[in-house]
Amino acid sequence: MQLLAKMLLSVGVMFYVVLIPYLEWNPSHVFNPDWPPHARFHEVWQLITNVAFGLLALWLTWVRQQFGMAAIISTIVMGGVIGSHLLAEHVGSSVQSGNIATEVLGLDLAVFVAIVVVVISLLAATVPVRKNRIDW
């Protein structure tokens, strides 16, 4: 069961440690000439911070076997995507980036992936590390 928790958490973390930086380190985001320089600064800051949190979550998962804390980190990082989507019309932003414009089950792909990561992270957190104990 612990291996299942490790795999679930690791797959979720890979989305914001590998896939999102890959998709955003390009002219539509980090190098977008239409964005103010300060917005690009915040984009790079967000990418570095999320990668650092992801590496911490992987360390907690594989070395410390603290699945609950790793799940909390992933839920915070990817929950931010969900929160941003919910606030998009109030702040004049959009989840449509030009990189991938696809919907799954009526949800923007980025939001769908964020929900999946949050759900699998929370499922992984319920796997006991020791008999009858969830190690948060």
Q: How many helices (H) and strands (E) does the chain have?
A: 5, 2
Would the pTM of this model clear 0.75, i.e. be above it? yes
Nearest partner of 58 among 95, 89, 15, judged by Cα: 15
Helix (H) or strand (E) holding 107: strand 107-108
User: Distance (Å, rounded) from C-alpha 7 to C-alpha 128?
Assistant: 14
3-state secondary structure of 136: coil
Q: How does pLDDT run across 76-131, given as a tens digit for each residue?
A: 999 999 898 888 788 776 656 555 567 677 777 788 889 999 999 999 888 765 55
Q: How does pLDDT run across 5-44, given as a tens digit for each residue?
A: 999 999 999 999 999 999 899 998 999 999 999 999 999 9
